[in-house]
Structures are given as C-alpha cells and as structure tokens.
Chain A
Amino acid sequence: MHNTTDNIMAVLMLINLALTASSRLNLCISLVSLQGVALGFLPLFSHNGLNLRTAFLAVVVVAMKGVVFPRLLMRAVRGANVRREVEPFVGYGASILVGILLLGISFWVGNRLPLPVSAVSSDLVVPGAIGAILTGLFLLTSRKTAVTQVMGYLVMENGIAAFGLAVVPEVPMLIELGILLDIFVGVFVMAIVIWHISREFDHMNADQLSALKG
C-alpha cells in the first residue's frame, strides 16, 4: 500500500516538473488532468482503503478532474483560436530550474512541519502537496495565457487536496463535496470568462489585461 502511495506522489511530482517545462497548451491540459486523476486515486490507497465513501469520492474527483475540466479548458482553447503555446514570462530552461528548486524547498519544508501525518499515509504526501502548491503558484505568475493561469490554479488546488488528505483524512463528506463544487464552478466560470476575453480582445493573454492601473 505504501508503495502505491509513494508512486502516485512521485508521478505527481514528475507532472509538476513536466508542467514547468512543457510548452504545448494541450499537453499541459492533459498533464493537469492526469495529475488530478492520480490524486483522485490516492484516497483508495491510504488510511481506510476502499470503502463506499472513498470510492464515491474517487469517482467524482476522477470524473471532474479527468474528464470535465480538460474538456472545458480544451474548448476554451479551441474557441479562443489562439496559438497553442504556453508563452512564458520565464524561459523554459529557467522554469525547469525553478521547478527543481521548488521541489527541493517542498521536501525541506515538508519534513520540518510539525504535522500529525497519519501513520498509514506515506511521508511523501506532504512534500508532494507543497511542491504542487508552489508549482501552481509559479505557473500562475510566470505564464501569459489565461488558460495557463487556470491550470496553475488547478495544480495548486490539487496540492491542497493532497495536503488535506495527509493531515485530515476524515473531512466530512459535505465539506468535501462543497469544495469540489466550488472548484468545478470556479473552472466553469473561468472558462466562460476566457471565452468572453478571447472574443473581446482577439487573444487571451493575461499580460495584456493591463488597462486598469493605479
């Protein structure tokens, strides 16, 4: 069981690195959804293992992060008729270096937090979660396209979800569903706004959304 959790977390970290390095928007969207799916399976292999509750949540998470979100984002990209590049402010080479740095930081921080990590879950979960949060923030700040910012938000959200799994295994179902609903509506709303933006501006670069100042 431990080993499976370890492997999932390693995949999660690799996807973080791949996201900092990849230049294709479609690839990035697939990577993010893959990360979400991997995360959805995580509860099945930690603490209580497979039961009705975890299975239900896993199905919901996988359906949302693996199917719905990528569809929404792909549609936003296709509808926007933009260049399929990520268009970073920070070059890809430097991005990878930053990714590695963030990875190191997350291990350093993760091993020092006085968290009551539940004994059954792997000690990779917290560093992986922090890594995803930091990577998400990095993607949010270093990429121009609006879609990439949504992806950064999703990666960050994935990290937070993993973190929650490690420290609070028994979040009540109601809260968990509420959070998922919020994220779903969030991505939905963002996709609509991106659609509007691309129609109004003929592009969807967030760095050109800078008319309002002062």
Chain B
Amino acid sequence: MTFCGDMLWLLIVLPAIGAALGLIMPSPRAAIRSVAIGVPVVAAVAAWAVVTVMRGGPLLSAGEWLHLDALAGYHVVVMMIVFVMSSLYAVPYFSHEPAGHELDLPAARRFAALWYGALAAMTLVMLSNNLGVMWVGVEATTLLTAFLICLRVSPSSLEATWKYLIVCSVGVAFAFMGVLLVAASAGHAAATDVHLLHWTHLQQIVKTLDPRLLKLAFIFIIVGYGTKAGLAPMHSWLPDAHSQAPAPVSAIFSGFMLNTALYCIMRYMPMVDAAWARNLLIVFGLVSIIIAAVFILAQHDLKRLLAYCSVEHLGIIALGLGLGPLGAFAALFHTLNHSVCKALSFFCAGRIGQACGTHDMREIRGSIRLSRLWGTGLFISMLALIGVAPFAIFMSELLVLKAMIETHGYISMAVFLLGTATVFVAVLRYAMNMAWGTGTAPRKDEPGSLLEWLVVVAPLALLLTLGLWMPASFRHVLEAAASIAAGRAP
C-alpha cells in the first residue's frame, strides 16, 4: 500500500518533470515528440494506480492529502485516454500546419510545458482529497491552459484567451466562496481542525454540518465550477476558446477540462440535501441543452459547432447526475463516450480545417474526397456525437432517458428530447453537406500514416464496442463510481 501511495505522488510529479523537460527541448519537433512519448508513460503509471484502486478499494496517501477512489479513478482513466489520444494527434497536426504558421521553438516549448502542466493540474484536481487543494488545481488549469489558446498570437485568439481568463477566473473565484462556506458550515467546533476540508473527513461529519450554509455553498459551487464546466448560461467563454485554440488543445478542453470542473461538482453532491441539489443540476442541464441547440441551429463555424455540442453534452451529464443513481451511472458512462468522441471530432475538424484553410462549414465541401481518413472520421464522429444508434453515446443517452422515465420527470424528458432532436437535425445537415456536398475542387488525398489511422480508428472502435457490449468489469467500475457521485457511500 505504501508503494501505491508514493505512486499517487508520482502521477503529479511526473507531468511536472515533463513540463520542465519540455522547456529545454532543442527543436519544435522534439518538443512535440516529447509530449507524444511522455504522456503515454504517465498514463501507464496512472492505469496501474487505478487498477490497484479498483481491486483493493480507495487509496489515501501523503497524510490524507491525496485520495483515489472509484469516482476519481474512473475520471483519471477518461482523462488519460483523452490526453494520450491528443498527444499522439499533436504530432501530425503540428507537422501539417500551413506554411508560415508552423510552431517556432519558443511556442513549441511553451506548448510542451503547458501541456504537461495542464495534465499535472487536472490530475491534482482528481487526486486531491482536500476541497481547497482541489480549487487550487482547477484555478491552475485555467491559468496553465490560457496560453495554449493563443499558442499562435492573433487578435481573435487573444480575444478568446482574455474572455477565457476573466470569465473562468471570476467563476472559479465563486467556487472558492463555496469552499469557504462549506468550511463555515462545520461551525465553531471544527474551526481549528487541520483536516477540516478533507473530503473523507467531511463525509464522516456530514450530519453535523449546517444544511442552510451547505445549500448556499452548493449554489456558489455549481455557479463557479459550472462556469468552468461550460454549463449555460455561464458558457460564454467556451465557444470562443474552443474555436480559437489549436485542435489538440480544443480536444483536451472539450474532452476533459470541462469534466474536471463537473467532477468537482460531483464531489459536493453527497454533502447537500439530495433532492434539492439534483433539481438544481437538472435545471442547469436542461438550460444548457436548449441553449446549445439554439446556437447550433445558427452556427457556421465547425469548431464553434463542436463547442456548443460540448455545452449540450455537459448539460446531459449534469442532467443525468440530477436523476439519482441510475442517472449518475448514465452520466458517468456518457462522460467517457462524449470525451472520446468529442476529442476525435476536434482531431478531424482540425485536420480538415488545415486542408481547407477555413472552419466555415459553408466552404467545406466534399471532405471525404479531400481526405478519406479525416473526412470519414469527421462524418462518423459527428454521427456518433448526435447519438446515432450503434455507438455508445446512443446507449448512454438512452440510459439518461430511462432514468427520467423512472423518476417520472416527463417535462424534463420533453425538453431533453426537443433539444437533442434539434441538435440531431441541425448537425446531420451540416455533416452531410461537408462530407459529400459539391463545391471546392477535390485536392490530392495524402494517405495518412499509421499513427493517424490509429488515432481515428481506435476511438471509433471503442465507441462501437461500448455501444454494443458493456463488459461486466466496466459495469462494476461505473456502478462503484456512480454510487459515490449519487451520495451513497460505497
């Protein structure tokens, strides 16, 4: 056990070392390669830790400051999948940048360091047992990823960076008010307790906390972390940041950074009056779905479309969390599906965008002729994203629907169906036009390298497999994680 405890430290320290190494890489190529090689190594260590946890129960280490249970472990797995995919993808993406836009050495070093830094910060959020440290981690992800958006400085990328910085910093500051209020709810008795903000400690004394203050705290938490998670109406930074960032960065933003914030909200769920907190989440989820659907209808920019799609899917996850144990199960399942699928969509959108020189969907025509690999990947991933049948997202959305029927939430069901149907129709239209529409003359297709094929085919295979068959062990992991998020101690 002690060794595993040390391993938890390693998960944060290794990326930090990677960040330092990234700063001294001799060439842009080497910097990006270092990311593609280093991140899978970290992922392997993380996988080992997670397997230990799944077999042997929650881990506490470093004087109870670090904590890994099923919920955190599950998120770590999702995070590592997204990061490994994006790191591998970064190699072909940056080597195909149009002339004049290649990364120079400082930018590449910055990319490598910040990429590892973001990984370390997100891991810190997952592993932290202390709500205060968790907050520090979330704020750190904001600051570290800010310069990833304006890796290439341009007026629009700066605008996106500025909005991202200000909106998220202020939002997350709200979350800190929530953390303080949680601490305050413990009252005088606990005021001197050093372990006051430890999540495991709070679980034990949850009965003695002041419920009024906890409710107030939860409002701050959901608004604060909800801003970072891109829940409407606090999502205003999200489309800008996602559309201006380079594709691998958009992929980790959408694929996991949003989930990091939502994970924080999950941690607070078991402390608050369950029905009340769930209703709040349902409202935020439904509002996100509807607002995203409206904006998707009138969207012309491919990456902005995908960004709004993230708002919709994060809304679905929040909605699922608000629906009790089955809903939480569905929500966590959806987390994996959405992250993998959305990362893939951004990969394809990025490479198609490079080939076409634009992200305007009215000008992207015949993408499958343009590039068989990326065009097909974009089309299929968009289909999977809107919930076409054999893919896993369809299954998880169906589970959310089932949870709504079980809890008799017919009004929310109607809203959910309206929103997803709107998105379905709108995205399908864009996807078909982009895939087959006539317009631009087809250019010469470059056959993708083995790595590129792997990056596209592996996620699709995963989505397809999970859509058709869920392994029993995976189901157990999900159930364990869901029971923590739904507020029933494992």
* Interface residues in chain A, defined as those with a beta carbon under 8 Å from any beta carbon in chain B: 113-116, 118, 133, 137, 140, 146, 149, 153, 156-157, 160, 163-164, 167-172, 174-175, 178-179, 181-182, 185-186, 189-190, 193, 196-197, 200-201, 206, 209-212, 214
CB contacts under 8 Å to A, within B235-259, are 239-240, 243-244
The interface residues of chain B lying within 8 Å CB-to-CB of A113 are 213, 216
**B196 in the interface, Cβ–Cβ < 8 Å?**
yes
Min distance, Cβ B224 to any Cβ of chain A, angstroms: 11
Whether A164 and B180, one on each chain, are in contact in the complex, defined by CB atoms closer than 8 angstroms, is: yes
A197 cross-chain contacts in B, Cβ below 8 A: 158, 162
B240 pairs with A160, CB closer than 8 A: no
**Which residue of A157, A175, A186 is within 8 Å of B197 (Cβ)?**
A175
**Contact partner of B191 among A116, A179, A196, A201, CB < 8 A?**
A116
Which residues on B sit within 8 Å (CB–CB) of A211? 155-156, 159
Task: Report whether B166 and A189 are in contact in the complex, using a CB–CB cutoff of 8 Å.
Answer: no
Main secondary structure of the interface of B (DSSP, over half): helix
Interface residues of B in 124-139 (CB under 8 A from A): 130, 132-133, 135-136, 139
Question: Do residues A163 and B166 form an inter-chain contact, with CB atoms below 8 A?
Answer: no
Q: Residues of B contacting A178 with CB < 8 Å?
A: 132-133, 136
12 A-B pairs, CB-CB below 8 angstroms?
A113-B216, A115-B213, A116-B187, A133-B177, A153-B169, A163-B180, A167-B180, A168-B184, A171-B183, A181-B136, A185-B143, A190-B166
With A114-B212, A212-B239, A214-B295 as known contacts, state yes or no: A156 contacts B184, CB within 8 Å.
no
**CB–CB B177/A193 < 8 A:** no
Main DSSP-derived SS at the A contact region: helix
The stretch from B90-98, B146-154, B315-323, B464-472 touching chain A is B146-154
How many Å lie between the Cα of A146 and that of B160 in the bound state? 13
How far does the alpha carbon of A83 sit from the alpha carbon of B76 in the complex, in Å? 48
- Would B162 and A146 count as touching, CB distance under 8 A? yes
Residues of chain B within 8 A (CB-CB) of A190 are 165-166
Kindly report which residue of chain B lies nearest to residue A175, judged by CB atoms.
B132
Residues from chain A with Cβ under 8 Å of B212 in the complex: 114
Residue of chain B at shortest CB distance from A188: B143
Quick check: is B194 within 8 A (CB to CB) of the other chain? yes
Instruction: Name, among B135, B166, B187, the residue most crowded by chain A CB atoms within 10 Å (CB to CB).
Output: B166
Docked-complex contact B139 and A186, CB < 8 angstroms? yes
Q: Are A200 and B133 in contact (CB under 8 A)?
A: no
Most buried by A among B130, B155, B163, B298: B155
**Contact between B165 and A168 (Cβ–Cβ < 8 Å)?**
no
With an 8 A cutoff between CB atoms, is B176 at the interface? yes
Q: Which of B132, B140, B194 has the most CB of A within 10 A?
A: B132
Shortest 9 CB-CB contacts between residues of A and residues of B: A175-B132, A178-B136, A167-B184, A209-B159, A168-B183, A182-B139, A212-B240, A116-B187, A164-B180
Which A residues touch B158, using CB under 8 A?
A: 193, 196-197, 200-201, 209
Indicate whether B210 reaches chain A with its CB closer than 8 angstroms. Answer: yes
A156 engages B150 (CB within 8 Å) = no
CB-contact partner of B165 in A170, A181, A193, under 8 A: A193
Chain A residues whose C-beta falls within 8 Å of the C-beta of B143 in the assembled complex: 182, 185-186, 189
